[in-house]
Amino acid sequence: MASEESGDYLVSLADLMAGLLFVFIITLMVFVLTFQGATTELTNTEHLRTTLLQQIALELSKRGVQVFVVEDNGVLRLTENEILFPSGSAELQEADMPHLAALGEVLEAVVSCYAGRTGEPLPPNCRDDSSGRLESVFIEGHTDNMPVHGGRFEDNWLLSAQRALFTYRALLRVHPVLGTLVNHRGQPLFSVSGYGDGRPVVPHATPTPEARNRRIDLRFVMVPPQQE
């Protein structure tokens, strides 16, 4: 009798282990499939952002405005060759304003395809999978690493933020539609931020009025796949 009970116990234990192994394998398969799906969606989102950046850069080049694209960070950089803030200033010279006007024209045409559109059909030039895919567009101001002395600005943080704000307001003056664009949650698409001299293109150990660091970046953030 004891031998039979011992045998039944071993059989039950073996069945339990087999059941646990089966559950583990199923769970692992679900995890792998979910991970693969999330990776594919993320790759597709990054590819769509790259397409967006390339569209903007191409349309700007047709208008004689050259920009630098940082695909990994989703950044469109307006170099010192297109707009140049004088050191310590948050306002552009008149010669640079046509370049901003061209930027606004292209943003209105291209970014509108990726913004939230409640109940409105996509314009004919838009991709079918683009609508509502942008979470935000940050207009980012930057400075060189020269300390600010006197004038309107206490430091480079404030100066960089005012450069971003000047750029955004200048865009709105010629293309007010940009101010009406929203993301998939109905929130304003465009925002501004300032980084001071904390993210230089050309780092320097000593204070240097490096023009390439006095710039505007546009950072495009896509909606995460699970939130679409």
> What pLDDT digit, counting tens, does each position of 106-146 carry?
999 999 889 865 456 666 677 666 666 899 999 999 999 99
The strands making up 134-141's β-sheet, listed across from edge to edge, are: 68-70, 75-78, 216-222, 134-141, 190-194
Q: Is 51 exposed, middle or buried (0-12, 13-18, 19+ CB in 10 A)?
A: middle
With H, G, I as helix, E, B as strand and everything else as coil, classify residue 214: coil
pLDDT of residue 36: 47
Q: On the CB side of 195, how many CA atoms lie within 13 Å of its CA?
A: 18
Q: Note whether 148 and 89 are within 8 A (CB).
A: no
User: How far out from the chain centre does Cα 183 lie?
Assistant: 13
| Res 126: pLDDT | 78
Among candidates 107, 95, 97, which has minimal Cα distance to 57? 107
pLDDT confidence band for 42 (50 / 70 / 90)? very low
Torsion of CA 102, 108, 110, 112, to 10 degrees: 170
Domains by residue range for the chain, with CATH: 34-227 (3.30.1330.60)
User: Could you report the per-residue pLDDT of 162-220, keeping only the tens digit for each?
Assistant: 999 999 999 999 999 999 999 988 899 999 999 999 999 999 889 999 999 999 999 99
Specify the 3-state DSSP secondary structure of 124: coil
- What's the residue count for the chain? 228
Token pair belonging to 73: 């960070």
pTM of the model: 0.77
